[in-house]
């Protein structure tokens, strides 16, 4: 290919600013744990499970984004260590980018299977005081306390599952 034709084309593209379909420099960055506060929203129960949304609020003064699945696990009341296996991902809804304006909300629905659904041979029940929750893409977590201490399996059974983050407080 002729080098004289390539250079003007590159200069023309570089001078055009943002290429259509590419990310803009003005797009909000991924939300960090320090920008967010988390709490458990209003849930329900069905078929031996409790369904509760983890709700994040953007407490910063800038918009930010969440995309994907949070990390979720039970926490022991006495030492804060993880109890049992971390939540598996429920792919019922596709992951989409959610933009949170200051004061805006996003959530992810967590299914907590009742420990009594598992045979005692597979589930050593122990007390848990809340959830350790990592926003999608984050390596730091928040602790979300339950209103009352509950029981969960301390073994590696899949007792927690989580859906992708969505806009709003319902988790759905």
CB-based burial label for 20 (10 Å; 0-12, 13-18, 19+): exposed
Domain residue spans of the chain? 28-72+87-114+133-148+159-167
Question: Cα separation of 156 and 66, whole Å?
Answer: 28
Return phi, psi of residue 71, to 5°.
-90, 135
Residue 118 DSSP SS3: coil
pTM reported for the whole predicted model = 0.83
pLDDT at 146: 96
List the structure tokens of 34: 């320090």
Mean pLDDT by 10 residues, the chain (172 residues): 40 37 68 97 93 98 98 94 97 92 98 96 96 96 96 96 97 92
Return phi, psi of residue 94, to 5°.
-70, 150
Question: Cα separation of 24 and 6, whole Å?
Answer: 25
């Amino acid at each position: 290919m002729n080098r004289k034709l390539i250079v003007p084309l590159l200069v023309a593209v570089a001078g055009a600013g943002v290429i259509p379909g590419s990310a803009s420099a003005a797009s909000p960055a991924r939300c960090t744990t320090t920008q967010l506060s988390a709490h458990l929203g209003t849930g329900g129960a069905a078929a031996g499970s409790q369904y509760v949304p983890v709700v994040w609020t953007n407490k910063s003064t800038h918009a930010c984004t969440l995309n994907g699945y949070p990390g979720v696990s039970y926490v022991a009341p006495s030492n804060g260590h993880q109890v049992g296996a971390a939540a598996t991902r429920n792919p019922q809804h596709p992951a989409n980018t959610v933009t949170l304006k200051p004061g805006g909300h996003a959530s992810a629905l967590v299914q907590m299977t009742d420990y009594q659904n598992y045979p005692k041979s597979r589930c050593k029940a122990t007390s848990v005081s809340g959830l350790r929750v990592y926003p999608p893409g984050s390596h730091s977590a928040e602790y979300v306390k339950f209103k009352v201490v509950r029981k969960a399996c301390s073994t590696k059974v899949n007792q927690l599952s989580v859906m992708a983050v969505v806009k709003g407080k319902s988790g759905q």
